[in-house]
Amino acid sequence: MTVSNVMNGKPGASEETRRRVLEVAGRLGYRPNVSARNLKGGRSGLIGLIALDLTSQYGLEILRGVADELADAEQELLVNASYHDAAREKDRVEFLGRGLVDGVLMIAPVLEDETVKLLRRQNLPCVIIDPRRLEVPLPRLSVDNYHGMRQGTQHLIDLGHTRIAYIRGEEDLESTSVRFQGFEDAMRLAGLKVDPRMVASCDFSYASGFRTATQLISEHRPTAIVAGADLMALGAVDAARASGLDVPSEFSVVGFDDLPQAAQSFPGLTTVRQPLHDMGQKAARALLSLIEGQKLLMEHMEVGTQLVIRNSTAPPRRGAEG
């Protein structure tokens, strides 16, 4: 009817009628039904976001970026968590793909081959943020982990540290190896060698960072630690303190991510900043293009990092190094 046109702000309705329609609609509290509109239009106005969980600040910063970008796009966000479980992740994709959403954003997904196939079969636009495997055959956005970590390590080297320990993140992410490569190369190019006993693996948590750092400190007496993620770095700061070392005067720590906690901790954490909010925006923008039916200029987008120097790093104490 004409009502439809009026409600959607289309032309083709006299002022008089338009006014009358709006008046009645207001009086009755009429609102267009979303399901019906979607059924007709073949779109739901919803974007699915599959995050690892709903608690890590890492994912939430990205989420904020996505939400900000979507705010102007008349698309709402349906948030799901996979809880690091490949089966659940696939289930979520399957569910969202039943026409519930127009496209999907995934943060650091496991992305088994089966799941990739499912996405293709359902013809569901999808952008991967921070993929675990860089060559996954889907549009994706990743961070320049290599140069980021190289720069973070270089900062410690410039301060005069030589006994630098490294805490790796989870091993099933390629980024863990790429970051470590950046660390190794920075060390090597500075003429320092990496003692394999001063390198430890760890999940991304504060607790495991604390544990691992405590052990590294007591066994090998580094003067600084580089961690592959902020939470582990914050754990390392507290581990140093618990071991009786002041940060930064007696022990330095560099993180990676620049989560909100990094700025709020005491002392502020020196870290390599991933532009998480930007990443969310960029990925959302790409997904919107895909939904509009456009092709992406690049299947693989990459964003840069930035060293943020705060107060968890300082030159080593005299005599402590070497």
Partner DNA sequence: CTGTTAGCGCATTCAA
Partner DNA sequence: TTGAATGCGCTAACAG
118 binds DNA (CB under 7 A): no
**Contact between 27 and DNA per CB under 7 A:** no
CA-to-CA distance for 252 and 254, rounded, in angstroms?
Answer: 7
| Contact characters 86-125, its own copies, x per CB under 8 A | --------xx-xxxx--------------------xx---
Judged by beta carbon, residue 27 or residue 40, the one nearer DNA is 40
Q: How many residues does the chain have?
A: 322
Can you say whether residue 17 is alpha, beta or left, with left for phi > 0 and alpha for psi between -120 and 50 degrees? alpha
Task: Assign residue 321 a region (left: φ > 0; alpha: ψ between -120 and 50; beta: otherwise).
Answer: beta
184 binds, among its own copies, DNA, none (CB under 5 to 8 A by kind): none
Which tokens sit at 269?
Answer: 């954490």
Asked if residue 44 binds its own copies (CB under 8 A), the reply is yes
Inter-CA distances, 272 with 187, 238, 253, 269, Å: 17, 19, 11, 10
Tokens of 320: 């402590």
Cβ count near 136 (within 10 Å): 17
Other beta carbons within 10 angstroms of residue 30's beta carbon come to 13
- Residue 7: name its binding partner from its own copies, DNA, none (Cβ under 5 to 8 Å by kind): DNA
| The only residue of 33, 135, 293, 295 in contact with DNA, by rule CB under 7 A | 33
Cα(230)–Cα(272) distance, integer angstroms? 9
Q: Is 207 in the site for its own copies (CB under 8 A)?
A: yes
Residues 6-25 that bind DNA (CB under 7 A): 7-8, 11-14, 16-18
Among 36, 293, 318, 319, binds its own copies (CB under 8 A): 36
> Which residues from 229-288 bind its own copies, rule CB under 8 A?
238, 241-242, 260-261, 264, 266
Give dist(CA 109, CA 159) in Å, integer. 37
157 is an interface residue for DNA by CB under 7 A: no
Q: If binding is defined by CB under 8 A, does position 315 make contact with its own copies?
A: no
Q: From 3-11, 106-114, 254-262, 276-284, give the range in contact with DNA by CB under 7 A.
A: 3-11
Residue 98 or 318: the one with the smaller Cβ distance to DNA is 98
Which range, of 72-80, 171-179, 181-189, 214-222, touches its own copies by CB under 8 A?
72-80
Q: Give the count of beta carbons closer than 10 Å to the beta carbon of residue 296.
A: 14
CB of 48 to its own copies, least distance (A): 9
Buried b (16+ CB within 10 A) or exposed e, 37-70: ebeeeeebebbbbbbbeeebbbbbbbbebbbebb
Q: 217-253 b/e with 16+ CB inside 10 Å = b? A: beeeebbbbbbbbbbbbbbbbbbbeeeebebbebbbb
Report in angstroms how near the CB of residue 21 gets to DNA at its nearest. Answer: 9
123 lies in the site for DNA, by CB under 7 A = no
41 scored as a contact of DNA (CB under 7 A)? yes
* Smallest separation, CB 19 to DNA (Å): 10
- The answer to whether residue 1 forms part of the interface with DNA (CB under 7 A) is yes
Asked if 76 touches its own copies (CB under 8 A), the answer is yes
- Other Cβ atoms closer than 10 A to 166: 26
Q: Residue 83 gets which letter from DSSP?
A: T
Task: Give the binding site for its own copies (CB under 8 A).
Answer: 29, 31-36, 38-39, 44, 46, 54-55, 57, 60-61, 63-64, 67, 76-81, 94-95, 97-100, 121-122, 206-207, 238, 241-242, 260-261, 264, 266
Task: Give the binding site for DNA (CB under 7 A).
Answer: 1-5, 7-8, 11-14, 16-18, 31-33, 36-37, 39-42
